[in-house]
């Protein structure tokens, strides 16, 4: 399970518990839940209430409640940081004086290129190279220029990767090696450190994609950044861009931890 999948499951569980407490405050047990209750839950409060739909679908399948009409929550409409928060996050990653270079580099890949943490921590040294215009990264089909300020941070990390001091690990090909030889940094610990630094991974990545699909067709971004075209299209739909009619979308590459 990826970090994003774990966080989604945790949020679904938290909201399901909140729903049961809310239902109890109305003097009802789960088995007594009515369509009126469901409509009242989803019709009031914050958008996070939509995460209760998975629990309700499960309860219906288990015949714990009567068959109810449960609103469908569109996939991908999770937490979303503001553009100001994303810019502030990038500034913090570029200028942070105490956050390790490894975490700053990971955060940069998240904020600039919308990459999921679970993928970033598995990057290899040959995913980066020095090109004619400076540092380049290959995330999909083509090499992409890394802005110089961000490239400087990444170079610092590449030149002094931690975890390479053991005899079994001197030639490790991983960009972000963990403490155990041949293992990557733990994605959950990375997510926690970034969150404690004011950079929530899911919300920040979503904002990065919202900005990118406003500047280029989703299929082009999917090729360049190595994601499933359907994932890029979901963000385009969420952003309400003019690229929704763009049809040059290639076949999905496989599961994408969006």
pLDDT in tens, 24-80: 999 999 999 988 888 888 777 666 787 888 898 888 878 898 777 776 554 445 678
Tokens of 13: 């569980």
Residue 151: per-residue pLDDT: 97
The answer to whether residues 253 and 228 touch, using CB atoms and an 8 Å cutoff, is yes
Which pLDDT does position 147 carry in this prediction? 97
pTM of the model: 0.66
Residue 73's pLDDT is 52
pLDDT reported for residue 54: 82
What confidence score (pLDDT) does residue 170 get? 61
Identify the H or E element spanning 130: strand 128-131
pLDDT the model gives residue 245: 47
- pLDDT of 64: 92
Q: What is the pLDDT of residue 247?
A: 44
User: What pLDDT does 114 receive?
Assistant: 95
Residue with tokens 């937490």: 79
What per-residue confidence (pLDDT) applies to 143? Answer: 96
Q: What pairing do the DSSP bridges indicate for beta strands 134-138 and 128-131? A: antiparallel
Which residues have a Cβ under 8 Å from the Cβ of 163 and sit 6 or more positions away? Answer: 169, 172, 177, 178, 179
Phi first, then psi, for residue 227 (nearest 5°) are: -120, 165
Task: Sketch the domain layout of the chain as residue ranges.
Answer: 3-61, 89-199
What residue ranges of the chain have pLDDT lower than 70?
1-5, 45-47, 71-78, 163-170, 242-258
């Amino acid at each position: 399970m990826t970090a994003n999948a774990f966080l989604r499951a945790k949020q679904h569980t938290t909201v399901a518990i909140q729903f049961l407490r809310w239902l109890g405050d109305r003097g009802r047990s789960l088995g007594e839940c009515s369509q009126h209750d469901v409509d009242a839950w989803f019709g009031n409060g914050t958008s996070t209430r939509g995460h209760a739909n998975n629990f309700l679908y499960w309860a219906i399948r288990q015949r714990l409640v009567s068959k109810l009409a449960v609103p469908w929550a569109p996939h991908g409409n999770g937490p979303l940081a503001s553009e100001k928060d994303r810019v502030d996050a990038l500034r913090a990653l570029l200028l942070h004086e105490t956050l390790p270079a490894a975490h700053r580099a990971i955060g940069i890949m998240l904020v600039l290129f919308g990459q999921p943490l679970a993928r970033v921590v598995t990057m290899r040294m040959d995913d980066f190279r020095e090109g004619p215009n400076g540092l380049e990264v290959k995330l999909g089909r083509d090499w992409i220029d890394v802005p110089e300020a961000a490239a400087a941070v990444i170079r610092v990390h590449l030149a002094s990767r931690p975890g390479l001091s053991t005899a079994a690990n001197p030639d490790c090909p991983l960009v972000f090696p963990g403490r155990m030889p041949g293992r990557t940094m733990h994605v959950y610990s990375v997510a926690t450190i970034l969150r404690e630094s004011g950079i929530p991974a899911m919300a920040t990545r979503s904002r990065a994609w919202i900005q990118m699909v406003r500047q280029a067709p989703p299929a082009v971004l999917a090729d360049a950044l190595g994601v499933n075209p359907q994932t890029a299209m979901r963000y385009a739909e969420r952003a309400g861009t003019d690229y929704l009619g763009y049809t040059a979308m290639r076949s999905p590459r496989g599961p994408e931890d969006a």
